[in-house]
Amino acid sequence: MLSPTADTIRLFLHVLAAAVWVGGQFALAGIVPTLRREAPEATRVVARAFARVAWPAFALVVITGLWNIAEVDVTNTDTAYQVTLMLKITLAILSGVFAAVHAAGRSKLTIALGGSLGGLCALGAMFLGILLTSGT
């Protein structure tokens, strides 16, 4: 068996947290319409329960993301890598911002836009993260 390294642990934690953040959003997007129909009062309770898991996962994504950047000599990478990295960081930040807008939303429009844009940005950031690892 191969031995784990700090790099594999760092990447594992980053992917695990991203899976919770991104996958959880998409799982809720599939569950909430049915929940709203069958038990409307439970929707808010489920959302708060998910937030207790999702926000720490997002924090872990940010921490391990910074750790990832610290481990790569970005000055020794090509421009395409740097642009992809900056776009990934931007999408990850926007994912958190839009999720916060969704959570704080008071109108159907802000809740819908925040959730939709947050999920799409999270998905884009995850894709670009995979692209970055395949390009090294």
Cα angle vertex 43, ends 105, 31, to 5°? 105
Q: Which pLDDT tens digit goes with each residue over 70-125?
A: 998 888 889 999 999 999 999 999 999 999 999 999 999 999 999 999 999 999 99
For 34-71, how does the pLDDT look when each residue is reduced to its tens digit (9 = 90+)? Answer: 999 999 999 999 999 999 999 999 999 999 999 999 99
Q: Model pTM?
A: 0.92
CA dist., res. 131 & res. 136, Å (int): 9
